[in-house]
């Protein structure tokens, strides 16, 4: 189909367009790779089949996302793939309902508009290369697999193309009704990525509620607690992971790093002692480095207290400033800083009064 557009006074240019329609889902890993390529090229590169494509828009069906459609929107350098309506709602509104197959209505349906020189068949070929094979379609939904490498595809492979407008409060509330903890964690990961910490925690909490002994869900939630400075809860999650994985040395080291940040030096030492016991000589370098940080923190705290007690308030603040680089949430260091600051202010005020 050729469309003629008016553009300015007496100027026209021709544009070709075609409908891309398929009844197989896109493989999410290969589709993500194509989207990455289009983003890098800004969709108008000097070469390649998409170089003459000006705009594309429509619905796409992504492997292992049979419940929700995705809305593809691309114009120039702008590219978005948004989670859309449930497929049954799409079918009702656009196809008039009816049908009995589980996959009724699920499809690829894109309108692609390009310059007159657009190579439609080549553009179609790049999209066809992203479609699932029959073997991939029959794979269990829990494990998307990269058909080229045989490795697991990332569950949130399209996450970087989502935008916040589909993540409304109502959308988050609807997700809380889901019973698949892995899907909940994937949704929460997307919210975490765009800075929606409070909503992400709601979904992580639900995932942990459904699978309370899954350390991956707890670790994902712990990361949000840390980014939002909810350190007490981060410590609780870190210790819970240690309970669930008592033979996993990195879990102890991770927990020790968090307890060190909050200034729980005795708790940090207990975790590192246990890590050394579990390691039995393995990974000793990492454990030794963690002990070095702990001993430095203990030394800094002792020195800061000594400076404060001896009335060297400015020096105490210098030590605290250095110490808080590794223990920024330490209540002990904050207390010393506050007391030294107040003492310096009082000394300055007394000096001002005494000065004629």
* Per-residue pLDDT tens digits for 114-124: 988 888 999 99
In DSSP terms, 162 is beta-bridged to: none
- 209 contacts: CB under 8 Å, gap ≥ 6: none
More confident residue, 290 or 158: 290
Which range of 38-42, 63-67, 113-117, 212-216 scores highest in mean pLDDT? It is 212-216
Q: How many other CB atoms are found less than 10 A from the CB of residue 330? A: 23
In angstroms, the CA 138 to CA 157 distance is 20
- Name residue 26's beta-bridge partners: 62, 131
d(CA 114, CA 227) in angstroms, rounded, equals 43
Q: Which carries the bigger pLDDT value, residue 77 or residue 113?
A: 113
Backbone angles phi, psi at 194, to 5 degrees: -100, 10
Residues 6+ apart with CB under 8 A from 175: 184, 187, 203, 206
Separation CA 97–CA 89 (nearest Å) = 8
1-166 maps to which CATH number?
3.30.1220.10
- Please state the separation of Cα 133 from the chain's center in Å: 29
Both tokens of residue 201? 């925690």
| pLDDT tens, position by position, 320-348 | 999 998 898 999 999 999 999 999 999 88
| Residue 37 pLDDT | 74
Say whether pTM exceeds 0.85: no
- The Cα 332–Cα 338 span in angstroms is 10
């Amino acid at each position: 189909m050729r469309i003629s557009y008016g553009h300015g006074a007496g100027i026209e240019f021709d544009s070709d367009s075609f409908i891309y329609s398929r009844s197989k889902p896109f493989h999410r890993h290969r589709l993500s790779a194509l989207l990455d390529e289009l983003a890098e090229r800004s969709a108008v590169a000097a070469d390649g089949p998409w170089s003459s494509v000006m705009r594309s828009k429509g619905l796409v069906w992504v492997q292992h996302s049979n419940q929700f459609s995705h809305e593809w929107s691309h114009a120039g350098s702008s590219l978005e793939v948004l989670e859309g309506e449930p497929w049954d709602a799409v079918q009702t509104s656009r196809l008039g309902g009816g049908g009995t197959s589980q996959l009724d209505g699920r499809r690829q349906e894109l309108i692609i508009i390009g310059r007159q020189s657009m190579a439609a068949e080549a553009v179609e070929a790049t999209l066809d290369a992203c479609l699932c094979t029959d073997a991939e379609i029959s794979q269990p939904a829990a494990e998307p697999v990269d058909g080229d490498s045989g490795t697991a595809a990332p569950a949130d492979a399209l996450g970087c193309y989502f935008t916040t407008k589909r993540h409304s409060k109502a959308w988050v509330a609807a997700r809380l009704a889901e019973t698949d903890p892995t899907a909940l964690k994937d949704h929460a990961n997307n919210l975490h990525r765009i800075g929606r910490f409070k909503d992400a925690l709601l979904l992580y909490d639900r995932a942990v509620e459904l699978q309370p002994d899954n350390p991956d869900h707890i670790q994902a939630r712990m990361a949000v607690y840390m980014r939002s400075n909810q350190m007490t809860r981060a410590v609780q999650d870190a210790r819970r992971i240690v309970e669930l994985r008592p033979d996993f040395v990195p879990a102890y080291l991770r927990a020790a790093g968090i307890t060190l940040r909050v200034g729980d030096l005795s708790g940090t030492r207990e975790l590192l002692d246990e890590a050394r016991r579990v390691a039995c000589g393995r990974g000793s370098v990492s454990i030794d480095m963690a002990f070095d940080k702990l001993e430095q923190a203990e030394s800094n705290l002792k020195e800061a207290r000594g400076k404060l007690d001896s009335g060297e308030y400015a020096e105490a603040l210098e030590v605290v400033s250095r110490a808080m680089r590794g223990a920024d949430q330490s209540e002990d260091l904050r207390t010393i800083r506050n007391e030294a600051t107040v003492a310096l202010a009082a000394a300055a005020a007394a000096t001002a009064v005494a000065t004629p």
